[in-house]
Structure 1
Amino acid sequence: MSTEFDDAMITTTAADMPEKFFDRFMFNLHPDDGTSPSLVLGAGAYPPRDVADGFVVLSTPTEQRNLRFSTELSATDGASVGPLRWETVEDNKVWRLVLGANRTGLELDLTWRARAPYWLGSVDVENADGNTTSFDHLFQPGRYEGTLTLDGESQSVAGWYGVRDRSRGVRTMSGGQGLHVWYQAQFPDRAIGFLLVEDREGGRILLEGAVMHEDGEVDDVTDVVHDLVFTDDNDLVSGTVQVTTAAGRTYRVDADATGGGGYMAGGGYGGHHGKVRGRDHEEYDVYPLDGSVNAKTLDSALTDRSSTFTWDGQTGYGIFEYALTRSSSYQYQPTLDPTTAEA
């Protein structure tokens, strides 16, 4: 397993560090049978701004509970913010995550272990406003051990799936995007992961990712086409993606995304990360999952939907992250030719 990426969070300022530099991690957690709850949590350090922040997004069948917290980075130990603590037990292999008592009613004591090598790339995009986005981006599938306690009831999470995502650098992506997909489908012996961004005319801005195998193979993704089904409120219902890899393999994967929840506005997405809020700032809210809250009513369309995937007769589980621009100039167009078949 590669150890090229230095996993420890960067929490001190260097002389040449850009003012907008960040170092963030995100983990998701969901049962390996497609049931609930689904959880996304993360934290970030912004040394030039002396900010550390984090979030918890918990989705149940009826509601989504959101906690956002921020403080001065210099007031932390560099491995905690709010109720969340983390430890890189072994770089790129083992993390420990502890979530203490908080207003969501969720507490965690977890160990995440990688089950395949990570994929690492660099996102470099020239934005419409003239600013440049440039950051390292890593994602890696794993499984959990430990305990989840929700509203006083504890359960083991042994064997639950979860992908970690690490990003480090400067991210100022703005304007011109039509479709965003961050796709993480976990199957028994491999995980299919990619990031796809298209412009409002359907042209490709960015594609990166790989199929990460438990036997150690990392097979880069070279092409992705899709046929996705959205509601009038831009909520994903289902969809098919066809992934082609450098080794010449083709994966045609169907997704059921009807589970609900995962609206990342609850985690501060939409431009709120890294803002200076002073010490011990906290926000909490609840989204009812009755249709009254959706990607069009929130300040960010980004959604991390816990989904069930089907490929080659196998069932997998994971996160289908998506966002459609709310610009009136955009209409989603599929790129998958329905007459093509899996190789």
Structure 2
Amino acid sequence: MTQTRPEFHDAIVTPADLDGLPTGFFDRFVVNLHPTSGTAPSVLVGCGLHPVRGTVDGFAVLVTPTEQRNARFYTELAATDWSSCGPLSWEVVEPNREWRLALGDNPTGMTFDVTWRARAPYWWGTVDVDNPSGGTTSFDHLFQSGLVSGTLTVDGDTTPVDGWYSQRDRSRGLRTMAGGQGLHIWYQAQFPDRSIGFLLVERRDGSRIMLEGAVMHTDGTLDDIVDVRHALVLDDLDLRGGTVEVTTASGAVYRVGCDGTAGGGFMAGAGYGGHHGEAKGVDHVEGETWELGSVSQRTLDSSLTDRLATFDWDGTAGSGIFELALSRSSSYSYVSTL
């Protein structure tokens, strides 16, 4: 199968796009980068524009073998050029094919100047969900595997990152999903010639709310994912490992093992506890460092974790992000489907 959808509108929203936008409209990107093997360091950055509210927020997260360093940036859109937020700036050099990202001084002690280039076709679609609490979630969603080039500096030590894996996520619209969710997985397993990417959300009773994604091959083939089953190994709400089985529209079946014991990736450090879009004035910067083991999905204001994991698919090694959130409600218990 090949990409048949129209081109995704990759450019970030501009002042010329404001007419008729609903109050909750957002336009967000998230990019992670990491070596093609191993589980450190893991870098996650992102930014969201909320044009009707007049706010913009960004984040940078660095995970090392021993700690997670967080920085969050907030400002007013009127105080920016709509292509930066605090120390983070971006440029869409060629839509869906090349981005430029730069991070200046911030509380993590990490800076970088990198170019992201696509290594496989992207998957995108429109997510429409009627929420039990009222309202409808409707947003365009894209994810894509790439490689980066450039440099990463941590505490004054500069490292070339040429050839590191990098996954990006783009979303735009209204995202108001709340209540009733049990399991959330955003899965990006990178292998030398393909990327397995999907978003799976299940209710607390195990029924499926949504499944979207594809196996994205470096030869340009895009094979939609039609089913996912999982058997996760957990420590309370934390991922330790497990197996995911993916079935595609072409009939291919991928049974992929995962080691998620590296730790870190707590997205509460990126503002995912409900703080995106908040108005905190011009050029507000905050952050902290967590020693791994000192915080958990129970103690933070979000259970969402973007864990850099290693994968094994029939003896082929891979790495990437296993994003996981499990409900903290006493009415929910994880149940394997594999």
Q: Fold-level match, TM-score > 0.5?
A: yes
Q: CA deviation at 1:89?
A: 0.7
Partner in structure 2 of residue 341 of structure 1:
none
Does the Cα contact within 8 Å between 1:211 and 1:218 map onto a contact in 2?
Answer: yes
| Contact 1:228–1:240 (Cα < 8 Å) also in 2 | yes
Instruction: Give the AA of the match of 2:67.
Output: E
1:276 deviates by 1.4
1:334 aligns with 2:336: yes
> What is the deviation of 1:6?
1.6
**C-alpha contact (below 8 Å) 1:3/1:91 kept by paired residues:** no
Task: Letter of the 2:153 partner, please give it.
Answer: T
- Which amino acid is the alignment partner of residue 162 of structure 1? S
Q: State the Cα distance separating 1:86 from its structure 2 match.
A: 0.4
**Partner residue, 1:18:** 22
> Matched residues in 1 for 2:56 and 2:25: separation?
12
AA aligned to 2:290 is Y
> What's the % identity of the aligned pairs?
63
Matches within 5 A, 1:87-236: 87-232=91-236, 234-236=237-239
Distance (Å, rounded) in 1 between the aligned partners of 2:202 and 2:249: 21
The structure 2 residue matched to 1:323, chosen from 303, 325, 330, is 325
- Give the Cα–Cα distance (whole angstroms) in 1 for the partners of residues 69 and 294 of structure 2: 15
Matching residue within 61, 66, 73 for 1:62? 66
User: 1:283: which partner in 2?
Assistant: 286
Contact 1:262–1:306 under 8 Å retained in 2: yes
Distance 1:335 1:238 in 2: 15
Tell me the amino acid that sits aligned with residue 245 of structure 1: T
Q: Does the CA contact (< 8 Å) of 2:198 and 2:211 recur in 1?
A: yes
**Alignment partner, residue 78 of structure 1:** 82
The Cα offsets for residues 156-180 of structure 1, whole Å up to 9 and x where unpaired, read as 0011001000000001110000000
Cα offset, 1:15, TM superposition: 2.7
Please name the residue that 1:258 is paired with: 261
Unaligned runs of 5+ in 2: none
The whole-number CA distance in structure 2 between the counterparts of 1:327 and 1:301 is 11
SS in 2 for 1:10: coil
Root-mean-square deviation (Å): 1.0
Q: Which amino acid aligns with 2:276?
A: H
Is contact 1:11-1:45 (8 Å) kept?
Answer: no
Q: C-alpha displacement at 1:130, in angstroms?
A: 0.8
3-state SS of 2:52 partner: helix
Q: Secondary structure at the match of 1:208?
A: strand
**Residues in 1 aligned to 2:81 and 2:140: alpha-carbon distance in whole angstroms:** 24
Give unmatched runs, 5+ long, in structure 1.
337-343
Displacement of 1:67: 0.3
Instruction: Report how far residue 286 of structure 1 moved.
Output: 1.1
Given that 1:11 and 1:46 are in contact with CA atoms closer than 8 Å, whether structure 2 keeps it comes out as: no
3-state SS, counterpart of residue 49 of structure 1: coil
Cα deviation digits, residues 135-166 of structure 1 (max 9, x gap): 00000000110000000000100110010000
Instruction: Report deviation, 1:3.
Output: 6.7
Amino acid at match of 1:101: D
For the Cα contact (< 8 Å) 1:210–1:221, is it kept in 2? yes
Using the alignment, how far apart are the partners of 2:302 and 2:328 within structure 1?
Answer: 10
Aligned with 1:48: secondary structure? Answer: coil
Partner of 1:299 in structure 2? 301
Aligned equivalents of 1:3 and 1:93: distance in 2? Answer: 15
* TM-score computed with the length of structure 1 as normaliser: 0.96
Instruction: Tell me the distance in 2 between the aligned counterparts of 1:184 and 1:245.
Output: 15
Q: Which amino acid aligns with 1:21?
A: F
Shift in Å at residue 11 of structure 1? 3.1
Superposition deviation, residue 231 in structure 1: 0.5
